[in-house]
Amino acid sequence: MNAARSHITLNIEADEISLNINTSIPLGLLISEIITNSLKHGFNINQTGEICHRFDNNGASDYSLCIGDNGNGYDKDFNIEDAESLGLQLI
């Protein structure tokens, strides 16, 4: 990873949610991929930063997930539709 672990803060806000295994496994893989991408590509060495993760239950079967960071971001000419990596295609 480019960023030193001690320089990145992970903020997690999540409602108490119970999901079945068919939802939990793919969701866990996506969350892992997003956070890994933030650590690998979002921050330079010794750069401080923050990754935020929020998961809310908005009703019986209505949920919202928000993950973001205040890192460097993508290049201006980056187009997610042209992504060739499996991780970005999943996301």
pLDDT tens column, 7-51: 889 999 998 888 999 999 999 999 998 988 888 888 888 888 999
DSSP for 5-62 reads GGGEEEEEEE------HHHHHHHHHHHHHHHHHHHHHS--TT--EEEEEEEEEEETTE
Domain of 73 in residue numbering reads as: 5-90
pTM here? Answer: 0.77
Q: Look at the block and give the residue holding tokens 């010794």.
A: 46
Instruction: Report pLDDT for 4.
Output: 58
Number of domains in the chain: 1
Instruction: Residue 86: give its domain's CATH number.
Output: 3.30.565.10
SS3 content of the chain, % helix, strand, coil (to 5): 35, 30, 35
Q: Are 51 and 8 spatial neighbours (Cβ–Cβ below 8 Å)?
A: yes
